[in-house]
Amino acid sequence: MHELKASPHRPSVAIIGAGFGGLGMAIMLERAGFTDYMIFERGSDIGGVWRDNTYPGAGCDIPSPLYSYSFAPNRAWPRRYSRQPDILDYLRQTAKDAGVLDRVRLNTEVTGAEFDSGTGKWRVETSDGETVEVDVLIPAVGQLSRPSIPEIPGAETFAGPAFHSARWRHDVDLAGKRVAVIGTGGSVIQFVPQIQPEVARVTVFQRSAPYVIPKPDRTYRRWHHRMFKALPFTQQAGRASIWTAGEVLTLALTSVQALGKIVEVTFRTQLWLQVRDKALRAKLIPDYRPGCKRVLFSNNWFPTLMKSNVDVVTDRITGITPGGVRTESGVHDADVIIYGTGFKASEMLAPMRIRGLGGRELADEWAEGAHAYLGMSVPDFPNMFVIYGPNTNLGGNSIIYMMEHQFRYVLQILAEMAAGRMSCVDVRREVADEFDHEVQDRLRTSVWTTCQSWYRDESGRISTNWPGLVWEYHRRTENVDLSAYRDLGLAKTA
Ligand SMILES: Cc1cc2nc3c(=O)[nH]c(=O)nc-3n(C[C@H](O)[C@H](O)[C@H](O)COP(=O)(O)OP(=O)(O)OC[C@H]3O[C@@H](n4cnc5c(N)ncnc54)[C@H](O)[C@@H]3O)c2cc1C
């Protein structure tokens, strides 16, 4: 068994996942002098979703000045909504500059972790059969890292290539092919306009129409880059205004739903201006309230659907045949199927087997839905802090912003450990329960309960989203309330 060496009082840390969450946490640890850490990454490269989502047109939908670390501003973003290669480059460069890349163990999946109450340490088990002992466990595996493909009868009989948008097959030449696209989520509205000009036909199978509003994208020119460098506050101001707009959108989704009207009017105006065909327009009107599913941004989605080689099919899919996709109205011929069907968002931390105090399984603790105090701490799972955990996803603002609050929060606890004032802590159950009740109560009146979406698990519980403003999360995580935790006094970090 390998043991990471904890210096006196300085806990050793295992981070799981090398996306924005894991790498950001590592950078903050490094800066604070907590140098006994290791990052386990199951992929063959760092980057998380930005390594995996290489489909044509992949990019962020929160502008780059905000969709980046506040502590590593990039004055040279090529555009306001950057594309996947630039986001991945940014993440790689930032991690390299901070000196954390050589702590990443690639191709190493964490299969499980067990807390040992004898030693007060976590035993982390990896796919190569190794066990590593650490004081603190930080899972940062993301909510959107496991693609979800629906079980459709006959799918295995399809004669051509079939793949998920997050596992894009660049070896499949789509030129001149008939392509069936299943789903109309965030990825689909980005890649269909890119592939449409080269394919023979694209058939989009839509279960429910998304609210798509204009994307205020622009390329940043040389003068922008010069200005951001010479006068950093100009980029800061841009960041602040995007943040504020995100808060307004969040208000529309949570407590002031009348604001959703703004989204609806914007959507209907764009639809009316871009789609002149009445029958098509009727298909593209969502049957749920604005914001219940993620609001999407695009200027070219509707114009693409107007092209003569694009069909939108709204009949229910009943099966897949060797030659295409079957719906109630017949078989739609296809040479290639692309699943744009999203991710297993609510199956948090799966499929790892995590066992806490007394061997308690995290899967049992979360049997009725994942929940964690402030999205990070789970009773009976001492010294485990989840990044981008339950109820910390957002419908209208930057996830990286949320994560940064988590990094700072965890650092505060580690600082308490380093100072010898805490050793091995878990959140008090009554505190975690009260927090969860509050979150679920508030979510019950949010727009997200008015339709079925990836925000909800099978039972209908919303285990993904934060119920309030980002500002509130900032306020509640700014200073750790130490009384929320009990110290088990087990860890041997001193
Ligand atoms: C296409 C796309 C666009 C997005 N755009 C935006 C946006 O514009 N704005 C926004 O705020 N959010 C956006 N998101 C959400 C995005 O998930 C977060 O912003 C953020 O990138 C998540 O980072 P993460 O590190 O938590 O997770 P991930 O990026 O998913 O990284 C998790 C890492 O953990 C690894 N891992 C998982 N399990 C294990 C294991 N058992 N052992 C070892 N390694 C493991 C994975 O391989 C992965 O590398 C987008 C998501 C997608 C898919």
Evaluate: CB of 14 within 6 angstroms of ligand 1. no
pLDDT tens digits along 178-236? 999 999 999 999 999 999 999 999 999 999 999 999 999 999 999 999 999 999 999 99
The alpha carbon of 398 is separated from its chain's Cα centroid by a whole number of angstroms, namely 10
DSSP state string for 7-68: PTT---EEEE--SHHHHHHHHHHHHTT---EEEE-SSSSS-THHHH--STT-B-SS-TTTSS
What per-residue string of b and e applies to 42-63 under the rule 16 or more CB within 10 Å gives b?
A: bbeebbbbbbbbbbbbbbbbbb
Quote the CA–CA distance of 287 and 197 in Å, as a whole number: 29
Ligand 1, pocket-test mutation among 15, 49, 164, most atoms within 8 A of CB: 49
Evaluate: CB of 354 within 6 angstroms of ligand 1. no
Evaluate: CB of 393 within 6 angstroms of ligand 1. no
pLDDT at residue 493, as a whole number:
43
Whether 424 and 320 have beta carbons less than 8 Å apart is answered as no
Q: Which residues pair with 333 in a beta bridge?
A: 324
Contacts 24+ apart (CB under 8 A), 274-277: 274/302, 274/303, 274/306, 275/302, 275/305, 275/306, 276/306, 277/306
Evaluate: CB of 141 within 6 angstroms of ligand 1. yes
Evaluate: CB of 60 within 6 angstroms of ligand 1. yes
* E strand or H helix at 267: helix 260-274
- 224 burial level (CB within 10 Å; 0-12, 13-18, 19+): buried
| Pairing mode of beta strands 178-182, 162-164 | unpaired
pLDDT at residue 9, as a whole number:
73
The SS3 assignment for 272 reads helix
> Can you count the helices (H) and strands (E) in the chain?
13, 21
pLDDT at residue 7, as a whole number:
52
pLDDT at residue 5, as a whole number:
54
Residue given tokens 């989704």 in the structure block: 253
Q: How far is the CA of 142 from the centre of ligand 1 (A)?
A: 4
Whether 406 and 388 have beta carbons less than 8 Å apart is answered as yes
Whether 356 and 381 have beta carbons less than 8 Å apart is answered as yes
Evaluate: CB of 381 within 6 angstroms of ligand 1. no
Residue given tokens 């500059």 in the structure block: 97
- In ligand 1, the atom with minimum distance to the C-alpha of 49 is 29
Per-run averaged pLDDT (10 residues), the chain, 494 residues:
60 98 98 97 98 98 96 96 98 98 98 96 96 97 96 97 98 98 97 98 97 96 94 94 92 80 94 96 95 94 98 97 96 98 93 96 95 98 98 94 98 95 94 98 92 89 95 97 90 45
DSSP state string for 166-206: GG--TTS--TT-EEEEE--SHHHHHHHHHHTTTSSEEEEE-
Whether 397 and 253 have beta carbons less than 8 Å apart is answered as no
Residue 358's nearest CA partner among 385, 382, 383 is: 382
The SS3 assignment for 436 reads helix
- Type of residue numbered 358: G
What per-residue string of b and e applies to 289-302 under the rule 16 or more CB within 10 Å gives b?
A: bbbbbbbbbbebbb
Q: How far is the CA of 140 from the centre of ligand 1 (A)?
A: 8
Per-residue tokens: 324? 């295409």
DSSP state string for 128-170: TS-EEEESEEEE---SS-SB-----TTGGG-SS-EEEGGG--T
Evaluate: CB of 55 within 6 angstroms of ligand 1. no
- 351 burial level (CB within 10 Å; 0-12, 13-18, 19+): exposed
